[in-house]
Amino acid sequence: MKKYSEMTKDELKAEYEIIKAGFEEAKAKGLKLNMARGLPSAEQLDMEADFFNTLNPTVDFHSELGIDCRNYGELTGIHEARQLMADMMEVSPEEIIVFGNSSLNIMFDTVARSMQFGVLGSTPWNKLDKVKFLCPVPGYDRHFAITELFGIEMINIPMDDNGPDMDMVEKYVNSDPAVKGIWCVPKYSNPTGVTYSDEVVRRFANLKPAAEDFRIYWDNAYTIHHLYNGKEDILLEILAECKKAGNPNMVWKFCSTSKVTFPGSGIAALAASEENLADVKRILTIQTIGHDKLNQLRHVRYFKNIEGMHEHMKKHADIIRPKFELVISILERDLAPLNIGSWTHPNGGYFVSFDAPTGCAKRIVGLCKEAGVTLTGAGATFPYKKDPNDSNIRIAPTFPPIQELEQALNIFTLCVRLAAAEQILDEK
Ligand code: PLP
């Protein structure tokens, strides 16, 4: 098949009529398919049935150190849960606070605390004229929503296969004291699947921020979420690198078991230097008398240790890998020969990132909607929902059953072809 860019106007018109007929046929089926959010499928959640047997009225509710987990207390989490999350986050248990069910919640609170109370004695951000965050793009919409809510100005930083453009990051962070943070998903990034290279991590650790209260928001949500056994990405551990560089307080690390056990019912943790954590505890002690220790106990008893978690993640991978491979094979089959768009081939995480021809993303998402396929909104992967190229679309393959995913992808590629053909015809 000829590439669209090489077709004459008449050839492309003929192609357009064929795709349009296919689109109308798909529309008439009245399908309702969803590829919008990165959720585990019911099949993944069903695996966890035994999880609930770890706590029942006949078991001992005491932690290893004799804490009755049914009662108040243990603000930073029970010892064995701190150990488990420390192993997951590759730090020591003293550098961990186990919170509630959501890492996003910890991120929100971390920004809120900085706004209201400042960071380690610095001026609260809400007393400053201007606060800025760097936002590697495409990125995670909910990060951007937090900083937007607090009126923090967001600056796009382009990503490549190694991570964010570090020349730009260094320029902003090292020269502008209004830059207080950067959002990072350093492993199997949402949505590109990129894992930051060692050089990028080291350049992060060696930043010389103009602001003493600048922090890297290191959201390692997909740290153990590999798709392939034996083809795991490896990420350099940032807290140790920051210590080596003499910047031990420069990073907040976030993580949770949302996509290990249950979204909304996992355990989440913050990792940071002990000095940073002491500052957090000062406020946390007023905010709560302790998080859900029964859930912490459940997690520890279910997995036993980090090896148990890794074994468990292989079962998740076995369920979702075929879905990723299906998505990529349909994109390759339908779009690669036409040279339309580009897409990622992640080794882990929850997304495939698709870049449509410039100016086509909104149209594609709209066409998909007409044909019954819901996608993450075009622009969602950028601050203020503004993709300057109107190009990026996040594909979330995990939730739908594989047959539905196939139907949805067939419609998606049809809509991409339709939008691309329309655009070229308009220009001819
Ligand atoms: N961080 C990233 C990068 C995510 O993709 C998600 C969920 O999709 C979250 C955080 C949410 O994590 P949690 O459930 O721990 O709040």
Say yes or no: CB of residue 382 within 6 Å of ligand 1: no
Q: Whose CA is nearest to atom 7 of ligand 1?
A: 38
105-130 pLDDT per residue, tens: 999 999 999 999 999 999 999 999 99
CA distance linking residue 391 with residue 355, whole number of Å: 5
Distance 29 CA to ligand 1 centre (A): 34
151-183 pLDDT per residue, tens: 999 999 999 999 999 999 999 999 999 999 999
Q: Whose CA is nearest to atom 6 of ligand 1?
A: 221
Say yes or no: CB of residue 220 within 6 Å of ligand 1: no
Check if the beta carbon of residue 260 is closer than 8 Å to that of residue 313: yes
Distance 7 CA to ligand 1 centre (A): 43
Say yes or no: CB of residue 268 within 6 Å of ligand 1: yes
397-411 pLDDT per residue, tens: 999 999 999 999 999
308-362 pLDDT per residue, tens: 999 999 999 999 999 999 999 999 999 999 999 999 999 999 999 999 999 999 9
Q: How is 52-93 classified by DSSP, letter by letter?
A: GGGS-TTS--B-TT--BTTSS--TT--HHHHHHHHHHHTS-G
CA distance linking residue 130 with residue 152, whole number of Å: 7
CA distance linking residue 146 with residue 112, whole number of Å: 9
> What is the number of the ligand 1 atom nearest to the C-alpha of 257?
15
Q: Is the pTM of this model over 0.75?
A: yes
355-385 pLDDT per residue, tens: 999 999 999 999 999 999 999 999 999 999 9
> What is the number of the ligand 1 atom nearest to the C-alpha of 105?
16
Q: Whose CA is nearest to atom 8 of ligand 1?
A: 38
For the chain, how long is the longest CA-to-CA vector?
79
